[in-house]
Structure 1
């Protein structure tokens, strides 16, 4: 077992679904490890994206860096395919004009092969997600 950030492309994470896409701000930016790059939504809500892991991970804390997100729900799945999601947390975020929202979620050591992030509402017509950071352990199979 090793402690790692499983939400990095370099650790094998992938964004397998995003409800909107702009070629200048692709969803892969969420997992590149940089706060300067981001994925942006295009229009209506809810919007969502799903991060997949190459193997089951145990996560004790999630941090999301985003902008203008109002209500966020995070769900997990341990299925082989991205189905059977269970809600982990839903939270109203505070708007910080002109600066990134950095929200930390402490979790009771959830296991996941997929995480789904659903942006239910926003403070503006567009939001951006810059990074998802997880504190977790990748299970050795």
Structure 2
């Protein structure tokens, strides 16, 4: 098992529905908790990551702030996704949220949708996807 959604592994963001010049979407793949992506207001916001290679995904870990409802989908192509989970995260009053989910699916792409937030803006500090080719 290895990290398949980091820039160093070859993963890349292929779609982002928001972009803040100071906190751009590609920061979610750099494995640096000091950098982050910031949403730009109204929800929902989508982020599609092309994994380093198609693989069997076993774990998703996210570090965020102010995310209320998060939807995770998997896909073999960019034109068709299937929902893996739809969760509501607890309100942490602007403090960092850490979520780890054991999953079992095959994918080439993973779509993260921030459907709603606890505040006007939300941040994603890190996305980790663990998988096996």
Q: TM-score range by the shorter chain?
A: over 0.9
- Please name the residue that 1:88 is paired with: 84
- Please name the residue that 2:62 is paired with: 64
Does the 8 Å contact 2:5/2:52 carry over to 1? no
Q: What are structure 1's unaligned runs of at least 5 residues?
A: none
Q: Name the structure where strand makes up a greater proportion of residues.
A: 2
Shift, 1:22, TM fit? 1.1
| Aligned Cα root-mean-square deviation (Å) | 1.0
TM-score, normalised with respect to structure 1: 0.91
Matching of residue 99 in structure 1 with residue 98 in structure 2: no
1:125 to 120, 123, 126: 120
Matching of residue 113 in structure 1 with residue 111 in structure 2: no
Q: Give the SS at the match of 1:85.
A: strand
TM-score, normalised with respect to structure 2: 0.96
Q: Give the SS at the match of 1:124.
A: coil
Instruction: Please show how residues 13-24 of structure 1 align to structure 2 within 5 Å.
Output: 13-24=11-22
Matching of residue 134 in structure 1 with residue 129 in structure 2: yes
Shift, 1:98, TM fit? 4.0
Q: How many pairs are equivalent?
A: 133
Structure 1 stretches of 4+ moved >6 Å: none
